[in-house]
Amino acid sequence: MDQLQFDDATKKELASFLEREQAHARVNDSIRNLTGMCWDKCITSTPGSRFARGEESCLSNCVERFLDTSIYIVTQVQRQQQQLLQAQGDS
Amino acid sequence: MPDFFKTSSHTQDSAQGTNARKEAVMNSIRSELALVNVQELINKATEKCFAKCVPKPGTSLTSSDEACLARCLDRYMEAFTVVSRTYTARISRESSQLRGAAAEI
């Protein structure tokens, strides 16, 4: 059964489609993970018929600060790497 | 050789056939990924709401357990929406200037 036999152009199109969908899935994974993490941090009361005071803003602060943290850590590691390279160059 | 093998040698309807098969592959990938996303979201909500609403499991769920679970599920989905909105806004804000850093998140 050669049902999945495609010409090269179609294969290329499907490959880039798959790449886009995978990127999309990665974003969804991050959002799901963040929801779990921020839920634990921000939703401290028993769930009511609406969010308690401050819970909603806590959720969006949580997302923003997590992304800040991610950027900070990456920058920090890059800086340390640079310092290491510099030290090696000096010696 | 059975009849359905012969159709593949006809070049007239092969372009149309390729397109239809391509669409079919794309659609099944889309729905597969959407299903996985929903399943994982439900698993997570179950875990979180069980922790919040059923602190001491008895011989059955009480009606107040169930009322709590219903509210919790609503709030969890709302939290997902808030997080999704904030995340998407941040990424689109960020991607113009910090394309490199955003890709590593």
Residues in CB range of B22: below 8 A, 6 or more apart? A6, A10, A13, A14
Q: Name every residue in B having a CB less than 8 A away from some CB of A.
A: 8, 18, 21-22, 25-26, 29-30, 33, 36-37, 40-41, 44, 48-49, 52-53, 68, 71-72, 74-76, 78-80, 82-87, 90-91, 94, 98, 101, 104-105
For chain B, what is the domain count?
A: 1
A44 touches chain B (CB under 8 A): no
pLDDT above 60: residue B87: yes
- A65 vs B contacts (CB less than 8 Å): none
What pLDDT shows up at residue A60? Answer: 97
CB-closest option in A35, A42, A60 to B80: A35
Are A39 and B79 a contacting pair, CB within 8 Å? Answer: yes
**Of B10 and B74, more confident:** B74
Fold of A8-90: Helix Hairpins (1.10.287)
What pLDDT shows up at residue B88? Answer: 95
Residue B44 lies in a domain: yes
* Residue with the two structure tokens 């998407």: B88
Q: How far apart are CA B68 and CA B72, in angstroms?
A: 6
Residues in CB range of A3: below 8 A, 6 or more apart? B21
Residue (of A70, A43, A45, A74) closest to A57 by Cα position: A43
Identify the CATH number of the domain in which residue B59 sits. Answer: 1.10.287.810
Please state whether A50 falls in left (phi above 0), alpha (psi between -120 and 50) or beta.
beta
What amino acid occupies position B95?
Answer: S
Which residues of chain A fall short of a pLDDT of 50? 1
What pLDDT shows up at residue B98? Answer: 61
CB-closest option in A10, A32, A60 to B82: A60
Residue B84 lies in a domain: yes
Domain encompassing residue B59: 12-103
When pLDDT is cut at 50, 70 and 90, the band that residue B97 belongs to is confident
Residue B6 lies in a domain: no
Are A28 and B88 a contacting pair, CB within 8 Å? Answer: no
When pLDDT is cut at 50, 70 and 90, the band that residue B103 belongs to is low
Q: How far apart are CA B90 and CA A63, in angstroms?
A: 9
**Of B77 and B14, more confident:** B77
What pLDDT shows up at residue B9? Answer: 47
When pLDDT is cut at 50, 70 and 90, the band that residue B101 belongs to is low
Spell out a b/e string for B49-63, using b for 16 or more CB atoms within 10 Å of the CB, else e: beebbeeeeeeeeee
* B83–A14 C-beta distance less than 8 A: no
Q: How far apart are CA A2 and CA B5, in angstroms?
A: 10
pLDDT above 70: residue B3: no
Could you tell me how many residues make up chain B? 105
- A67 vs B contacts (CB less than 8 Å): 87, 90, 94, 105
The per-residue pLDDT for range B17-67, each reduced to its tens digit, is 888 888 999 999 999 999 999 999 999 999 999 999 999 999 999 999 999
Q: How far apart are CA B74 and CA B24, in angstroms?
A: 34
Residue B40 lies in a domain: yes
